[in-house]
């Protein structure tokens, strides 16, 4: 049970670690301390919903198409290899930095932006319902539930840490050398997951 939960946590946190558009929004809201709790909860609960759908519904889908997990794993591996290569290229070229935050006014435009960055992003479906769902297929019963809870917990931990730790991260995120290290770590992580999917 503990091993399954830790696997779910590690899988989920590694997939959402990359600084994408959604994470940049959470980071910026944290920097200006504007609607942080609402944005963090929205992103975390959205992830929890998608992760649950992937973990609980993946078996039913694969009952109709038993070849689907392998195809999705291979497709996910290709995407992760490509994304990892982009991160390695960014680390090699340098010049990455976080643009200065801009304060947001009312709550609803911020929520609308978070919703668009979450639900209109095709990668979120690959990550949550595809990759996490595929990994969860290796567990059964209570172990599968533990895996799902671990994956959901990772999402909450990540978004709360990002939103409320933003002010501590701000100097590092504005430093090009720090971004080179971050991009390199993300690249290694993405390629490691891709290798596991291919070899699995």
Per-residue pLDDT of the chain (200 residues; tens, 9 = 90+): 788 899 889 888 888 877 666 787 787 788 777 899 999 999 999 999 999 988 887 666 767 777 877 777 787 778 778 878 888 988 888 765 555 444 446 888 889 888 887 887 667 777 887 788 888 877 888 899 999 999 999 999 999 999 999 888 767 666 778 778 877 887 887 788 788 778 86
Range of the structural domain that residue 148 is part of: 2-199
Rounded Cα distance between 45 and 112, Å, is 15
Q: Is the dihedral of CA 13, 60, 125, 27 positive or negative?
A: negative
Confidence (pTM):
0.67
φ, ψ dihedrals at 132, nearest 5°: -65, -40
- Per the structure, the count of domains in the chain is 1
Residue burial 29-65, b: 16+ Cβ < 10 Å; e: rest:
bbbeebbbeebbebbbebbbebbbebbeebeeebeee
Residue 105, pLDDT score: 61
Residue 137 CB contacts under 8 Å (≥ 6 apart), including other chains: 58, 59, 62, 69
- What per-residue confidence (pLDDT) applies to 26? 86
Cβ(90)–Cβ(181) under 8 Å? no
């Amino acid at each position: 049970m503990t091993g399954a939960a830790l696997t779910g946590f590690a899988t989920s946190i590694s997939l959402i670690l990359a600084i994408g558009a959604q994470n940049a929004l959470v980071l910026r809201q944290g920097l200006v301390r504007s609607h942080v709790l609402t944005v963090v909860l929205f992103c975390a609960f959205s992830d929890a919903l998608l992760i649950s759908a992937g973990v609980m519904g993946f078996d039913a889908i694969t009952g109709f198409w038993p070849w689907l997990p392998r195809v999705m794993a291979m497709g996910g591996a290709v995407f992760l290899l490509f994304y990892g290569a982009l991160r390695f290229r960014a680390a090699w070229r340098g010049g990455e930095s976080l643009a200065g935050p801009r304060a947001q006014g009312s709550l609803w435009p911020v929520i609308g932006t978070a919703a668009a960055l979450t639900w209109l992003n095709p990668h979120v479906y690959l990550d949550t319902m595809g990759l996490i769902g595929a990994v969860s297929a290796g567990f059964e019963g209570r172990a599968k539930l533990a895996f799902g809870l671990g994956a959901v917990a990772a999402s909450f931990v990540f978004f709360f840490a990002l939103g409320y730790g933003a002010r501590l991260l701000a100097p590092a995120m504005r430093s090009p050398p720090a971004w080179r290290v971050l991009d390199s770590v993300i690249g290694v992580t993405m390629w490691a997951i891709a290798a596991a999917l291919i070899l699995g």
